[in-house]
Structure 1
């Protein structure tokens, strides 16, 4: 069960990390002066909420099955 607690903690921390990255990318898109950084931000924002939502819902079915 310690492994499951570690996995859940990892997921919680990664969700926060990715939510912050989404906000930074949105700011870069609006205010960034560097063309390359803005292009990178454009690749981050579209699919990011889906990935964060998947992690927030408990990860994959395999992850949930292992920790029950």
Structure 2
């Protein structure tokens, strides 16, 4: 699952590939925004953690990962 996180006052969004499904990520975001924690914590497929303070979240975009095409061909 591709997750894009917009952070207030940051010029770029955070993009990560998560092993969680959309419902699990949505639940983690909802819990963080409800005040159950002060930090949104997500782990990518390589085991790296991304921590974002909940008061700095601008938006979260969930989507399927894009498959990259390899090679040179005329389309």
TM (normalized to structure 2)? 0.35
After TM superposition, the score normalised by the length of structure 1 is: 0.38
Which has the higher Rg, Structure 1 or Structure 2? Answer: 1
- Relative to its length, the structure with more helix (as a share) is 1
